[in-house]
Copies of this chain bind each other. A is one copy, B any other.
Amino acid sequence: MKEKLITEFLGTFFLYSIIGLTAVLGGAGNMAPLAIGVGLAALIFASGHRSKAHFNPAVTLAFLTSKNQPTKEFIPYIITACLAAVSAAYCVQFIQPEAIAEIKLSALGLQHKDDFQLIPALISEFLFTFALVWVILNVAVAKGTQGNGFYGLAIGFTVAAGAYSVGSISGASFNPAVNIGLFIHQVIDLKILITYSLIQLLAGFSAALIFKCIEHKEAESCSIES
C-alpha cells in the first residue's frame, strides 16, 4: 500500500500546486481551468495504473461505496490527500509569499466577496462533484469501458468544464482536499470548508449509488427501484 500512498501524495500535491499557482494566485488568468484540467489528466495518466489516482476524498468515498476500494485503504487515502494538499498549499505560499498575502475570497473567479452566495455555491459544488464522480466511475471501473485509454482526459476535461461553469459561483473545488488548500490560502473560511466538504462527499456518495444501481441493472434489479 505504501506505493499507492506515495503515488496519491505526489498526484494530489501537484494537483493542488497547479490549482494554487494558476487559479488562486491567478497566474493563468482565464486559462486556469484548462491548465488544471490538462494537468489533472496528465497526473491521472501517470498514476492511475498504480493507485487509481483519486487525489480526492469524495472520489475515495465513491470507490468505497461502489465496492471498488478495500475498506482498509479508505482512511489512509483520505489522510494522504489532505496532507498532500496542505504541503502543496504551504509550498505555493513559500514560493509566492506576496501574492498569497493579497488573496482572500477574490480568488478562483470570485471577484468580489459580496458576489458570494452560499446556496448557489453549494448547488454548484454538488452538481459538478456529482458529474466528476459519475464520469470517474464510468471511465475507471465500469465494465463497458474496460481497457480504455481516455480515462485521464475524461476526468481532467470534466474538471475543466466544471471550473469554467461554476468557477465564478463557488470557486470550483469539487474536492475536500482542495478545500483545505483553499482554506490555507484564505480563499474560503472554515464554515465554507466544512459545508463544501459535506456537500462534495454527499455528491460523491450519490453518484456512486446511481452508478452502482445502473451498472447492476444489466444483471439484476436494483434496490432503489424495487
Contacts and interface: CB of A to CB of B under 8 A. Distances in A.
Contacts of A43: 131, 135, 158
B39 A161 contact: yes
Interface residues of A, number: 73
A168 interface: yes
Chain copies in complex: 4
A120 B96 contact: yes
Contacts of A138: 45-47, 49-50
The 6 closest A-B pairs by CB, nearest first: A39-B161, A49-B144, A35-B164, A38-B157, A45-B154, A21-B165
A184 interface: no
Contacts of A225: 2
Contacts of A169: 21, 27, 95-96
Contact of A41 (B30, B154, B164): B154
A148 interface: yes
A35 B120 contact: no
